[in-house]
């Protein structure tokens, strides 16, 4: 059962999600969020410091919820697949959220969360001995896979989310499991 605090946070987040569908992020005010939620302004600040924190909360709740637990339960493949499925479920919001630019952008928030997943996956397993081990640190590998993952999501959004989340995950999985030399005709 949700606590009163969770209910209020979700109410504010849902109001924000509805607003961003019709209003550019930069034009959304705290007052608009609280008016739509039918709560007073101090209530907002009791739960969030600003609308960027609401955006991060939505990423945590609607996309990343239980993903770390899945990774910890040896469900790495499934956890990445679930992210694409959840993005598809929230596709209209995601399209608008990707337009949030600058520091604390949706892309930056999502990238940070995905990076932490890849770090967690790497930390869970022993790495193969690599010839370029001074370059291929766990942080550099996590950054590489994060950039590909987030870029793939951004490509999907740019194309209007015309493919299913499952299709995008399968395409992503193919790309990360094959080198460019495997893909091109020789």
Give per-residue pLDDT as tens, 128-144.
766 566 778 889 989 99
**Structure confidence at residue 38 (pLDDT):** 95
| Cα gap 102→12, rounded to integer Å | 23
Residue 167 located in a structural domain: yes
Range of the domain at 25: 4-48
- Residue 131: per-residue pLDDT: 59
Is 174 found in the same domain as 127? yes
Asked whether residue 99 falls in the same domain as residue 9, the answer is no
Q: What is the DSSP letter of 127?
A: P
If one counts the domains in the chain, the total is: 2
CATH code for the domain in which residue 21 is found:
1.10.10.60
- The two tokens of residue 106 are 């949706």
100 falls within a domain: yes
Is the domain of 44 the same as that of 77? no
Residues 169 and 97 in one domain: yes
The CA-atom distances, in angstroms, between 160 and each of 42, 88, 89, 100 are 37, 11, 14, 17
- pTM of the complete model beyond 0.85: yes
**Beta carbons of 96 and 20 less than 8 angstroms apart:** yes
Same domain, yes or no, for 33 and 70? Answer: no
Higher pLDDT residue, 165 or 115? 115
Q: What is the mean pLDDT of the chain?
A: 91
Q: What pLDDT was estimated at residue 137?
A: 84
Cα 19 to Cα 10: distance, rounded to the nearest angstrom: 14
Give the pLDDT of residue 132: 60
Share of the chain above pLDDT 90, in %: 65
Give the pLDDT score at 130: 64
Q: Are residues 43 and 71 in the same domain?
A: no
Query: pLDDT per residue over 4-50, tens digit each?
Result: 889 999 999 999 999 999 999 999 999 999 999 999 999 999 999 99
Q: What CA–CA distance (Å, rounded) separates 164 from 174?
A: 15
- Does 58 map to a domain? no
Say yes or no: 109 and 138 in one domain.
yes
Q: Read off the pLDDT of each residue in 104-128 and give the average, rounded to a whole number.
A: 91
Asked whether 58 and 16 are in contact (CB, 8 A), the reply is yes
Residues 72, 147, single domain; the answer is yes
Nearest CA-CA partner of 153 in 67, 72, 59, 61: 59
Structure confidence at residue 71 (pLDDT): 95
């Amino acid at each position: 059962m949700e606590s009163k605090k969770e209910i209020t946070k979700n109410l504010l987040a849902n109001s924000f999600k509805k607003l961003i569908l019709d209003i550019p992020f930069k034009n959304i005010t705290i007052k608009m969020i609280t008016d739509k939620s039918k709560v007073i302004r101090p209530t907002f600040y009791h739960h969030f410091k600003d609308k960027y924190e609401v955006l991060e909360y939505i990423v945590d709740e609607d996309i990343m919820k239980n993903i770390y637990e899945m990774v910890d339960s040896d469900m790495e493949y499934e956890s990445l697949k679930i992210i694409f499925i959840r993005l598809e479920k929230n596709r209209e919001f995601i399209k608008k959220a990707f337009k949030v630019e600058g520091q604390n952008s949706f892309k930056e928030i999502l990238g940070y969360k995905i990076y932490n997943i890849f770090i967690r996956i790497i930390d869970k397993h022993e790495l193969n001995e690599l010839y370029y081990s001074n370059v291929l640190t766990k942080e550099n590998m996590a950054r590489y896979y994060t950039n590909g993952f987030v870029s793939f999501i951004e490509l999907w959004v740019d194309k209007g989310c015309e493919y299913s989340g499952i299709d995008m995950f399968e395409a992503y999985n193919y790309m990360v499991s094959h080198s460019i030399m495997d893909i091109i005709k020789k």
